Amino acid sequence: MDNKGGIIVTELNELLYDKKLECPVCNEEFATKKVRISRLKLIKRDEDLLSYYEGENPLIYNVFLCPNCGYAATESRFDSVSARDKKILLEEVASKWSKRSYGGERSIDDAIVVYKLAFYIGQVLDYDKVELGTLAHSIAWLYRIKGDQEEIRFLSITKDLYEYSYYNESLVNAKGAKRDEIKLAYLLGEINRRLGNKEEAFKWFNGVISNPDIKSSPMLEKMVREQWRLTRNE
């Protein structure tokens, strides 16, 4: 595997394109690389849903970072900046930022830096814990692709954030979309399994299997039963 998270190296100029953006914090225009999803071929997917592709992995480019002020967020979140958020970001991030760009081709290490900044910004802006957990999970995946044991630390952070969200946050997010409770419970089972927390993994897997709504997700049901058996045999 190459250090980009792909299996076979493909010409980057065939896979990447420039996306032009205007920063909602400082109003500067900049460009950042994106992956042409139509050109990708899925190779495999880990049980906690990390996907591997032939060529570049779009995970590496899913966070946009303004080179002028340092604002970083996922593509789906990038434009969601309130007047309050803007004030906080100017004080807590932009005032301390040394201008630099991550808008070109990124290494895994570049992606980790960008995601960690997005995670920090999520903490500063008090994102929902499930959203912070998703960022932490992505960082763990990047370390996995790199083959770095820091993956374990970020999986542990992910577990704590997902668990808090499961028990304490609304199933409907700020945009009115319903979160997938079963998928979150499955991920908590799989992450606990990867961390060696066998009894916790069983608890979450059993909860998913006994949930009648699992019948509407046959692929997830198959995955959770397979991981339940794997955990039993470990």
The bridge status of strand 51-54 relative to strand 72-74 is unpaired
pLDDT band at 6 (very low <50, low <70, confident <90, very high): very low
Q: Are 78 and 86 in contact (CB under 8 A)?
A: no
Asked if residue 3 is part of any domain, the answer here is no
pLDDT band at 1 (very low <50, low <70, confident <90, very high): very low
Whole-prediction pTM value?
Answer: 0.91
Q: Which domain holds residue 140?
A: 12-179
Asked if residue 186 is part of any domain, the answer here is yes
Q: Which of 167, 154, 139 is nearest to 195 (CA)?
A: 154
Regarding whether 231 and 154 lie in a shared domain, the answer is no
Regarding whether 148 and 102 lie in a shared domain, the answer is yes
Q: Are 55 and 8 in contact (CB under 8 A)?
A: yes
Q: Within its chain, how far is the Cα of 42 from the centroid? A: 18
Regarding whether 124 and 220 lie in a shared domain, the answer is no
Average pLDDT, the chain: 92
Token duo for residue 192: 């606990």
d(CA 107, CA 7): 15
d(CA 231, CA 159): 17
Regarding whether 77 and 39 lie in a shared domain, the answer is yes
Regarding whether 189 and 132 lie in a shared domain, the answer is no
Regarding whether 197 and 130 lie in a shared domain, the answer is no
**What mean pLDDT is predicted for residues 213-223?**
92
User: How many independent structural domains does the chain possess?
Assistant: 2
**What mean pLDDT is predicted for residues 135-143?**
98
Angstrom CA distances, 130 to 124, 136, 141, 169, stand at 15, 10, 16, 8
